[in-house]
Structure 1
Amino acid sequence: MSGDETRWLEPDELETWLSYVAATTLLEGALDRQLQRDAGMPHAYYQILAMLSEVPDRSLRMSELAAITQSSQSRLSHAIARLERKGWVRRKPCPADRRSTFAQLTEEGFAALAAAAPGHVRTVRRHLFDRLTPEQVDQLHEITRAVLEGLGVADGDAQAVLPR
């Protein structure tokens, strides 16, 4: 086979791929609906708050936060503006670089995150982990580590790339 020919998915690979896409899409939707219903925030906002809660001073450069949350600068800026209006995040200028701005989680934002977290975890558990045996959890971990490695994420760095 030449380098120009497409290596199409085998039937079992295609079935696995479609199952993976369906499962991740439906899980993301279930998480988003639960957070909207119970905490008044979309999953994307929960992820922003969670990332900020895990770093020193609960503060990150907007550019770093955009990269970590896999968001464009404009989409993140819009989200931060909404979170600011709720009093959950504040922007602060970077003292070392006037071109940079930090997003900082407020005490009110941390409280909102803490209130939302139990329902979020229950939903993750109900739709994912409670469906798997301990062996399947180990297998899923191995699989996701292999995929992340293929995407250039070193083992152990997933938490720095994808917020909890």
Structure 2
Amino acid sequence: MAATATPHPADEPRWLSPAEKEAWTGLVSLILLLPGRLETPLQREAGLTLFEYLALSHVSEAPQRRLRMSELAFLVNGSLSRLSNVVKRLEQRGWVERSPDPEDGRYTLVALTDAGLAKVVAAAPTHVRSVLGVLDPLTGADHQALARIAAKLRVRPADLA
């Protein structure tokens, strides 16, 4: 009589626990809900995508309104190629300028123009209203927990290799 192989626990998929499933379902729901809630008002009132707004906003907050493209890619959670395409469009609109980094020519800097600053300042109230619409139901402790969880889940592009 031939022996049958008994699968080892390591060979079987690990399924989500009820608590993990609840956390995952909630996270996926937020991932699908938030882009529309944050982007629709920006597109309607400012003619910007959420990604464009975030790029302009992060550069506006940087020292001298300049950032390396690689750092901006991390801040907006996008690839360098996606960011490059978006920055090209923003550059065509006169809102940003690109130049080699004088400290290290291997890097490219993106700088916000005065017109870009005016655009992000005009769009900021719309974005803040949308963000507050998301955050207002949360307590201060919820805000801290959300920030802590987001930091744990965020991955730098170098970590993906």
Smaller-chain TM-score bracket: 0.7 to 0.9
Following the alignment from structure 2 to structure 1, what is the Cα–Cα distance between the partners of residues 82 and 60?
20
Alpha-carbon shift at residue 65 of structure 1 (Å): 1.6
The aligned counterpart of 2:136 is: 130
Secondary structure of the structure 1 residue equivalent to 2:142: helix
Aligned positions of 1:69-80 closer than 5 A = 69-80=76-87
List alignment gaps of at least 5 residues for structure 2. Answer: 1-7, 157-161
Displacement of 1:7 after TM fit? Answer: 3.1
Identify if the C-alpha distance between structure 1 residues 149 and 33 changes in structure 2 by more than 3 Å, giving closer, same or farther: same
Distance 1:141 1:65 in 2: 24
Show the counterpart of 1:32.
39
| Residues 1:141 and 2:144 aligned together | yes
**Between 40-49 and 93-102, the greater mean CA deviation after superposition:** 93-102
Residues 37-96 of structure 1: CA distance to partner in whole angstroms, max 9, x if unpaired?
Answer: 111010001110111011111101112222322222211111011001111101122223
Map of 1:162 onto structure 2: none
Instruction: Select the structure with the greater relative contact order (CA < 8 A; seq sep ≥ 6).
Output: 1
- % identical aligned pairs: 43
**Which whole-Å CA distance do the structure 1 matches of 2:32 and 2:92 have between them?**
29
SS in 1 for 2:111: strand
Which residue of 3, 6, 15 maps to 1:8? 15
CA drift at 1:115: 0.6
Alpha carbons of structure 1 residues 129 and 103: separation in structure 2 relative to 1, 3 Å: same
Gaps (5+ residues) in structure 1?
154-164
AA at the equivalent of 1:100 = Y
> Secondary structure of 1:90's partner?
strand
> How many Å separate the matches in 2 of 1:152 and 1:75?
17
**Superposition RMSD in Å:** 2.3
Q: Give 2:54's aligned residue.
A: 47
